[in-house]
Structure 1
Amino acid sequence: MGLIDGLFSLLFSGGRNAVKETVEVFRENAEAGAARDADRAEAALAQFAAEFSAPRQSVFDRVIDGLNRLPRPALALGTLGLFVSAMVDPVWFAERMQGIALVPEPLWWLMGAIVSFYFGARHQAKSQSFQRSIAQTVALAPSVVRNTAALRALGAGAGEEEVVDGAGDVPSANPALAEWRSR
């Protein structure tokens, strides 16, 4: 018994654990790691709490905080406003988009870089396809104007103009409609 007792006292005595210390060379002590993670999280939360617990010193700080919160809602509501304006007055909207079509490409790239830097998005990569789609939409403006004029004329009962399609072609006469009109 003396030999085994001596061996155990060598490994586990004096408040030290030789096996534990040897294993911790190769594998982290999970309990100690969790304690370090908890201390790190507590320090981060204390830093955040210190940042937001101090009362604002000036009106300037409150104004800047408010301005920092504006761009995203303004862009979202502005985009929805564009959809509404396109439905309410398509000609007015097409005129504005015609003006946007005249903006030079380097300026679009600059705006794309600023917006993508601000939002961290992939806007710059998609700006050229966006420009192409705007140009295609603006190209439809003449047929939209003709269709709108024809619809207004039909609504007022002023004439029997035919509505043209997106390509500007007048469709063939509708025999069923002609018969109905003749009654």
Structure 2
Amino acid sequence: MGLITNIMGLLFGNNRNVLIETAQVFRENAENASARASDIQTEALRQFATEFSHPRRSWFDVMIDGMNRLPRPMMALGTLALIGASMADPIWFASRMQGLALVPEPLWWLMGAIVSFYFGARHQAKGQEFQQSVTDTMARTGQVTRNIQAIKGLAPDAPTLTKSAILPTENAALLDWQGKHG
């Protein structure tokens, strides 16, 4: 009996469980992990609550907070509006872009620096690449205008294809099938 007691004491003695401690080396204790996750969640909620628990905020603070949230959505929606305008009225859009082509390069750099500072981690090279892409797009405006005119030339009175124009005549199998299925 003493041998079994010694072995059991070795495994489970001194208020320790060697098997569980060994298993926890290879697998995380689910109960302790849940407790840690709960603590993290509680701390995150506490920090969030303290951020918004300032009862004495002035109207100026509220206004500035609101204004700080506007630039990104305004730039995104403005870009989408420009894309829509380019499709709705390409000539109007092209004339506006020609006006942008007249903006001096240092002013583009200044605007790029301001936007880069505001949004962070942007580089001047990105602004210069954008200006180059605008210039490339403007160079294609004439071709786009000619294409639009050509599309408008495809009016309902323009010649259209008839069924006889698209039926093949050299395919004997197809002609045989057409003969049988009328």
Q: Same fold (TM over 0.5)?
A: yes
Give the equivalent residue in structure 2 for 1:29: 29
d(CA) in 2 for partners of 1:90, 1:15: 84
- CA gap 1:26/1:117 in 2 versus in 1, 3 angstroms: farther
Residue 67 (structure 1) shift: 0.3
Where do residues 4-83 of structure 1 align in structure 2 (5 Å cutoff)? 4-24=4-24, 28-83=28-83
Whether the 8 Å contact between 1:115 and 1:123 is mirrored in structure 2 is no
Residue 8 (structure 1) shift: 0.6
d(CA) in 2 for partners of 1:103, 1:63: 33
User: Which TM-score applies when normalising by structure 2?
Assistant: 0.58
SS of 1:53's partner is coil
Tell me the amino acid that sits aligned with residue 78 of structure 2.
Answer: G
- CA gap 1:23/1:89 in 2 versus in 1, 3 angstroms: closer
Residue 47 (structure 1) shift: 1.1
Choose 44-53 or 22-31, whichever is displaced more.
22-31
Tell me the amino acid that sits aligned with residue 3 of structure 2.
Answer: L
Choose 112-121 or 98-107, whichever is displaced more.
112-121
Where do residues 24-173 of structure 1 align in structure 2 (5 Å cutoff)? 24=24, 28-83=28-83, 87=88, 90-91=91-92, 93-116=93-116, 118-119=118-119, 127-139=127-139, 165=146
Contiguous gaps of at least 5 residues in structure 2? 148-156, 159-182
Contiguous gaps of at least 5 residues in structure 1? 148-164, 167-175, 178-183
d(CA) in 1 for partners of 2:52, 2:142: 56
SS of 1:55's partner is coil
Residue 44 (structure 1) shift: 0.9
- CA displacement 1:59-104 (0-9 Å, x = unmatched): 111111110121123223333444565545835x444322311334
- CA gap 1:20/1:96 in 2 versus in 1, 3 angstroms: same
d(CA) in 2 for partners of 1:133, 1:126: 10
d(CA) in 2 for partners of 1:114, 1:3: 80
d(CA) in 2 for partners of 1:116, 1:102: 22
Whether the 8 Å contact between 1:113 and 1:124 is mirrored in structure 2 is yes
Residue 27 (structure 1) shift: 5.2
Tell me the amino acid that sits aligned with residue 15 of structure 2.
Answer: G
Residue 139 (structure 1) shift: 4.2
d(CA) in 1 for partners of 2:141, 2:22: 79
Residue 11 (structure 1) shift: 2.8
- CA gap 1:117/1:20 in 2 versus in 1, 3 angstroms: farther
User: Which TM-score applies when normalising by structure 1?
Assistant: 0.57
d(CA) in 2 for partners of 1:6, 1:18: 14
- CA displacement 1:99-147 (0-9 Å, x = unmatched): 3113344543443454355446878665445323422444466789xx7
Percent of pairs identical after alignment? Answer: 59
Residue 51 (structure 1) shift: 1.6
